[in-house]
Structures are given as C-alpha cells and as structure tokens.
Amino acid sequence: MLAPKKVKYRKIQKGRLRGKATRGCNLSYGDFGLMATDGGFITSRQIEAARIAIMRYIKRSGKLWICIFPDKPIGKKPQETRMGKGKSNPEEWVAPVKPGRVLYELQGVQLEIAKEAFRLASHKFPIGTKFLTRGGIL
C-alpha cells in the first residue's frame, strides 16, 4: 500500500475540492492516459487495485506511470462513538483528485490493449474517468 514515509503533521484539515485541475492535466510520459472527470478522494488501496488490474491485463509488457500519490491522512471515528471528543487518529491515506487530473499513463502497448486495461482500472475508482491519447480524448 502507498503511504508517505514521513509527514510534517500527523493530522490535517479536510479542505474542499473546488474547480478543475490546473496541474497534471496533460500526458507527460506515456502515449495513453486515464483522466478523472469527477473530483474526489482516491484511497491508496484503490490506486494499488487499479495498478494491479492494469499490469495483469497488459502482462507487464508496457511501462506504467502512476501520476497521483496519497499524501493526505483521513481519520475515521469508531462505530457507535458519540459526537465530539476531538479528531480521530489517521486511518488511511488518500489522494485528492480534481476533474481533469491524469491518474495513470501507459506506454509500449497497442491502443486496444491500453483502452481495455484502463477500462478495467476505472472500475476500481469511485469517480468517473475517461481514456486519453497523445492525439486527444477517445
């Protein structure tokens, strides 16, 4: 599972995801990409599950870049706990994603294989995604 080795503060505020992504919107490394169409938090487990789905389908023939990293701690209170009593301890790590952000990039495989691999990966996310190529969106 992905998680930062060290952070400056153990607990951080939740914040808000408003607007579209201004950085990480274009393909930098690969020929194909998976772009987010909605905003939301993607957990480290979801990132890893999608990575495994892609690599299993392409049979480790191409090169894959993961363009997001879960560096935000999210706390979850135990069940049947009353309100108040402060902030809970960090339980999982998430990556805040805005619409337009490229999540994965892929190179060294054919178009049909890349399309199917990203389709399988998109089922692992709670947000909408679309397939991207160097020429544009397909």
Nearest Cα to Cα of residue 96 among 65, 118, 128, 73: 73
> Tens digit of pLDDT for each residue in 28-63?
999 999 999 999 999 999 999 999 999 999 998 999
Q: What is the pTM of this model?
A: 0.92
Q: Which two tokens stand for residue 64?
A: 């894959």
Q: 90 — phi, psi (to 5°)?
A: -60, 130
Q: Would you state the CATH architecture of domain 39-74+90-133?
A: Alpha-Beta Complex (3.90)
The pLDDT confidence band at residue 136, using thresholds 50, 70 and 90, is confident
Domains of the chain by residue range: 39-74+90-133
> Tens digit of pLDDT for each residue in 74-113?
999 999 999 999 999 999 999 999 999 999 999 999 999 9
Amino acid in the structure at residue 32: F
